[in-house]
Amino acid sequence: MHALLGGAAVLIWNDVAPEARDQFYRWHDNEHIPERLELPGFRRGRRFLSAGHSPEWLTMYEADDLSAVTSREYLARLNAPTPATLATIRHFRNTSRAVCRLVHAVGSSTGGHVLAMRLAVDSARSEPMRRHLCEDVFAYAMRTTGVVACHLFASDEAASYVDTAESKTRALDVPSWVLLCECTKRDAAAQVWERIGNGDLARLNVRVRDDAAVYALETCRLSAAFNSQRHGKDHSGPSGAAH
User: Mean pLDDT in runs of 10 for the chain (243 residues)?
Assistant: 94 98 98 97 98 97 96 93 96 95 97 97 94 94 97 86 63 89 96 83 91 97 86 49 34
pTM comes to 0.90
56, 227 Cβ separation under 8 angstroms: no
**What structural domains and CATH numbers belong to the chain?**
8-227 (3.30.70.100)
Question: What pLDDT does 229 receive?
Answer: 79
Question: What pLDDT does 242 receive?
Answer: 36
